[in-house]
Amino acid sequence: MASDLEVTTDRAQRLAGGGWQAVAVHWLRKYRRVWVSTLITSSLSPLLYLAGMGIGLGMLVDRGAGGVGGVPYVVFVAPGLLAASTLQVAAGETTFSVLGSIKWTPIYHGMLATPLRVRDVVLGQLVYVLLRVTSAAIVFFVIAAALGTVRSWWGLLAVPVSVLGGMAFASCCFAYSANLRNDQGIMLMFRFVVMPMSLFSGTFFPIEQLPGWLQPVAWVTPLWHAVEACRALVLGTATVGGVLVHCAYLAVWLVGGYLLSVRVLRGRMVV
Amino acid sequence: MAVLERISRVPAGAGMARMLVERNYRSSRRTWSIIVSGFFEPVFFLFAMGVGIGALVGDVATGDGRLVPYVVFVAPALLAASAMNGAIFDSTTNVFFKLKYARLYDSVLSTPLGPRDIAVGEISWALLRGVVYSGAFLAVAVAAGAVTTWTAVLAVPAASLIGWAFASVGMATTTYMRTWSDFEYVQLAILPMFLFSATFFPLSTYPPVLQWVVQATPLYHGVAMVRDLMLDEVGAGMLVHVGYLVGMGLLGTAWTALRIERLLLR
Amino acid sequence: MPLSPSEPLIRARGLVKTFGDFTAVDGIDVDVHPGESFGFLGPNGAGKSSTMRMIGCVSPPTGGSLRILGMDPGTQGPAIRARLGVVPQRDSLDEELTVEENIWVYGRYFGLPRPVVRERAAELLEFAQLSERARSVVEPLSGGMKRRLTIARALVNTPQILLLDEPTTGLDPQARHVLWDRLFRLKREGVTLVLTTHYMDEAEQLCDRLVVMDHGRIVAEGSPRALIAEHSTREVLELRFDTHDHTAHLADVDGIADRVEVLPDRLLLYTPDGESAQSEIARRGIEPLSSLVRRSTLEDVFLHLTGRTLVD
């Protein structure tokens, strides 16, 4: 009997140490039931934007201004859409499901009643989001490349960079959502942060066209850095230093958001 | 005809749909921030199109062959599209919550109100919100210099017609939904319309075959109607646009009442 | 059509409700008279809720006839519902509104003018002991409070009949007693109560008359006391043994009681005199783990009529 007990405690301790895998598996299992509809929308909507904005509107832009920065509009807009849509998927996965797991279905309560720790809960879910976001980014990138919008082999790196941008924002979304009382705050965040950021971070047009006072705001957003790095990589104009600076900035958001999420969730769950 | 007869047999209720509108107004006072925020989405788009894309595109030819700045061309489309988006949001997500989780309609049906009251009440509410949004958007568009003629005022009732058409069909569709993830398919229907109903670039940009497809969608008629009004190019085509959307609204309302009866009065 | 004084408020004859192949209500006859407190007692799935929904005019009967307040639910649904109060099995309070707004808005569904609704709400919140929570939102209220609010809301139109589907299911004992007290007051004021329950104590507390339902049929009808007198003995001796199968002990108690029922965890001995049955057990040298004498309840009536227990 004694040895059995020792084995179980030992196992529990090991699970606690690496318990985030169990959390990630939990979310993946849930995802398995809806993956068809979500993968369709998360890949189709940016592709529809690429067709509508890049190709359709692109005809007007190319006729009017002869493209943007020397390339056809669709080539300009594709990396922007890659970064923006990755960020939107990431935000979508760390808002309703986080608040919902606290408020509507007490999933976190259940997880924390086991040897799992708060940081396992946060890390596990973010790892799931990472997988989810990476798959969406790959699908979009492959189709965008097939349409001839990728001009350099360096462009392949745009996938991890866009994922980094998405995760940088997602980790902050997690902290924000874990602090909410009701879902109104989520709607407001999408309308006043995600939507304007997607429109004004150099995704659809260069931020130089924004009024002067708005440009510094764009520099602060994680999306602008992701868009700039992705675009430079795809067009083959990237410099190692430039990409590294953008990635470092995004990494700061990612780590900061993660630490904040653990703190906020602990404050909410461990009382 | 069998369908018409079936619809006429849906229990009407007490004809007090306005009480449901009153209920929604009361509950909206606690969610005013969401309601106000809905107004900003088209404004952000208008700003992006005006300062960003507009500068790249330059002038665009209208249906009558006039050249107008891009922002003037795109503003009516954004108005029409936001009427659609607002109506769809209200009549799908909000109604689904009330139907499945809050069980609002179960308690409404135990009063003198009937399924037809619920359909008319909810759709009227979506429509009312649409009127407020489009009025506010129009004011912003005027301030941004995207409005050139007084007939633009008529864009507000036109937007409410669009709201009615989409809210009624949206609510009917919602009665078939089982889980939240089913709403991904609603987005799948809405997004292509938003992008390809001659919203951001003229119909003439499309290959001839696709032009037919575009012209079959309801948002195309909404956009064309509002654009004709805001560019003062009203012609006989207006009758087609209005007829299409009125037909859609009537059909959707009757369909919704029928479905509410099926679901809740069994 | 005015209701003649002799006519019952609710009259059902051969009432049937089917869902596809499943028959939920299988030809029942019911009369509910003014001022009466009438109950449907039965286990889950007996057809009680389906019957209540038909009476509430939100579910068209498949067969038979049903008249409520002298009217036909099929054609005069809104007119009937205007005079009913409905307390559904699951609270369907409007969580987007405050406590008092729930009553206001609900009153407006009946077409009551705003000043009337406000006045009624103040009275009803007093009645439901919720005046202090009037401006609170609904969500944080306790189960008992929500239930009382649902009842207050159902009374906003001063209904002639109050329909209560499982009024106290899921409430703690104290909350149940508070609720029963409120329902007693309504009864004294002459409101006709129609309720379903699968708790025999609730039926005994609240019902003047009740029907026992099982598999969509009525298996017995009468006042709680009359039903016990007719279908059970005065007392019951409950015996528990240290065994997996109580059937094994049937032979030991043979001849002691009028009737014996075997439950998974005990034997029930039906007898007019429990004490003497207990002494007989001791005399025979039988040693149960526990032995208890109690009065017969509606639970025993149901067990006798259907061979099953009410709460499973």
Which structure tokens are listed for A233?
């990589």
Whether complex ipTM tops 0.90 = no
* A76/B contact by beta carbon, under 8 A: no
Shortest distance, CA C102 to any CA of chain B (angstroms): 9
Q: What is the pLDDT of residue B173?
A: 94
What SS3 state is found at C284?
coil
Q: What is the pLDDT of residues C142-194, one digit of tens each?
A: 989 999 999 999 999 999 999 999 998 888 888 889 889 989 999 998 899 99
CB-CB under 8 Å, C106 with B107? yes
* pLDDT less than 50: residues of chain C: 1
pLDDT at position B14: 63
Same domain, C54 and C189: yes
Whether residue A59 lies within 8 A of chain B, CB to CB, comes out as yes
pLDDT in tens, A239-262: 999 999 999 999 999 999 999 999
Chain C residues with CB-CB distance to B266 below 8 A: 19, 59
| C-alpha distances out from residue B228 to B50, B60, B73, B86, Å | 20, 15, 10, 22
| B250 contacts chain C (CB < 8 A) | no
Summarize pLDDT for A191-220 with one digit per residue, the tens.
Answer: 999 999 999 999 999 999 998 899 999 999
Burial of C46 (C-beta count, 10 Å sphere; 0-12/13-18/19+)? buried
Residue B116 structure tokens? 């037809």
Check if the beta carbon of residue C40 is closer than 8 Å to that of residue C195.
yes
How much of chain B exceeds pLDDT 70, in percent? 95
Choose, out of A35, A41, A49, A190, the residue to mutate when testing the contact with B (most B CBs < 10 Å). Answer: A41
CATH number at residue C248: 3.30.70.980
Interface contact flag, B26 C58, Cβ < 8 Å: no
Contact of B209 with chain A, judged by CB distance below 8 Å, is answered with no
pLDDT score recorded for residue B13? 62
Looking at the domain assignment, is residue C304 inside a domain? Answer: no
C288 and C200 belong to one structural domain: no
A191 vs B40, B59, B195: nearest CB? B40
Q: Is the pLDDT of residue B92 over 60?
A: yes
Assess contact for A46 and A133: CB atoms under 8 A.
Answer: no
More confident residue, B212 or C201: B212
Q: Are residues C155 and C248 in the same domain?
A: no
Instruction: Select the residue from A34, A57, A180 to test the B interface by mutation, using most B Cβ atoms within 10 A.
Output: A57
Residue A7 pLDDT > 80 = no
CA dist C277 and C261 (Å) reads: 15
Q: Is the pLDDT of residue B170 over 90?
A: yes
The model's confidence at residue A11, banded by pLDDT at 50, 70 and 90, is low
Counting beta carbons within 10 angstroms of the beta carbon of residue C25, is it exposed (0 to 12), middle (13 to 18) or buried (19 or more)?
buried
Give the minimum alpha-carbon distance from B162 to chain C in angstroms, rounded to a whole number: 28
DSSP element (H, E) containing C291: strand C290-295
CATH of the domain at C87: 3.40.50.300
C312 lies in some domain: no
The verdict on C132 and C206 lying in the same domain is yes
B137 close to B82: Cβ distance less than 8 angstroms: yes
Q: Is residue C145 located within the same domain as residue C251?
A: no
Query: Domain range for residue C84?
Result: 10-222
Residue B145 sits at the chain A interface (C-beta within 8 Å): no
Classify residue C305: in a domain, yes or no: no
For the cut 50, the answer to whether the pLDDT of residue A88 exceeds it is yes
CA C231 vs CA A22, B14, B227, C222: distances in Å: 57, 46, 79, 11
How close A3 comes to chain B (CA, Å)? 47
Place of tokens 């025979």: C284
Total domains, chain C = 2
Which tokens belong to C149?
A: 């609010």
Q: Are residues C107 and C18 in the same domain?
A: yes
Say if residue B12's pLDDT is above 70.
no
Q: Is C95 in the B-facing interface, judged by CB distances under 8 Å?
A: yes
Same domain, C194 and C100: yes
Pair C146, C188 in one domain: yes
Of residues A230 and B8, more confidently modeled: A230
Is C128 near chain B, with CB under 8 Å?
A: no
Helix, strand, or coil (residue C190): coil
Chain A interface test: which of B40, B46, B57 (most A C-beta within 10 Å) = B57
Chain A 39-58, CB below 8 Å of chain B: which residues? 40-41, 44-45, 48-49, 51-53, 56-57
Domain locations in chain B as residue ranges: 2-264
Span B83-103, mean pLDDT?
87
* B224 has pLDDT over 60: yes
Write down the pLDDT at residue A218: 93
Q: Is C68 part of any domain? A: yes
State the pLDDT at residue B129. Answer: 84
Does the distance separating the beta carbons of C90 and B103 come in below 8 Å?
yes
> Same domain for C212 and C121?
yes
Nearest to B104 among C88, C94, C101 (CB): C94
Angle between helix B155-174 and B218-230 (nearest 10): 170
Q: Does A214 touch chain B (CB under 8 A)?
A: no
Q: Does B14 touch chain C (CB under 8 A)?
A: yes
For residue C302, tell me if it sits in a domain: no
Which pLDDT tens digit goes with each residue over A67-83?
888 899 999 999 999 99
Give the pLDDT of residue B240. 95
Please indicate if any CB of chain B lies within 8 Å of the CB of C97.
yes
Q: Do A209 and B185 touch (CB under 8 A)?
A: no
Q: Between chains, do B112 and C101 touch, taking CB under 8 Å as contact?
A: no
Query: What does the longest C-alpha to C-alpha distance in chain C come to?
Result: 74
CB of B121 within 8 Å of any CB in chain C?
no
pLDDT at A1 over 50: no
CB-CB contact of A57 with B77 (8 Å): no
Chain B contact for C8 (CB, 8 A cutoff): no
Arithmetic mean of pLDDT, A6-12: 51
Q: Does B232 touch chain A (CB under 8 A)?
A: no
Listed residue (A136, A126, A111) closest to A175, CA to CA: A126
Residue C301 lies in a domain: no
Q: What SS3 string covers chain B?
A: CHHHHHHHCCCCECCCHHHHHHHHHHHHCCCHHHHHHHHHHHHHHHHHHHHHHHHHHCEEECCCCCEEEHHHHHHHHHHHHHHHHHHHHHHHHHHHHHHHHCCHHHHHHCCCECHHHHHHHHHHHHHHHHHHHHHHHHHHHHHCCCCCCHHHHHHHHHHHHHHHHHHHHHHHHHCCCCCHHHHHHHHHHHHHHHHHCCCCCCHHHCCHHHHHHHHHCHHHHHHHHHHHHHCCCCCCHHHHHHHHHHHHHHHHHHHHHHHHHHHHCC
Confirm if A93 and A133 have CB atoms less than 8 A apart: yes
Residues C167 and C272 in one domain: no
Q: Tell me whether B102 touches chain C (CB under 8 Å).
A: yes
Pick from B57, B59, B181: which is nearest to A34 by CB? B181
CB pairs under 8 A between A and B: 97
Closest residue in A to B89 (Cα) is A187
Mean pLDDT of B223-230: 94
Residue C311 domain flag: no
Substitution target in B31, B56, B82, B204 with the highest count of A β-carbons within 10 Å is B56
**Measured between CB atoms, does A192 come within 8 Å of chain B?**
yes
What pLDDT band is residue A112 in, cutting at 50, 70 and 90? confident
Per the model's pLDDT, the better-predicted residue between B78 and B2 turns out to be B78
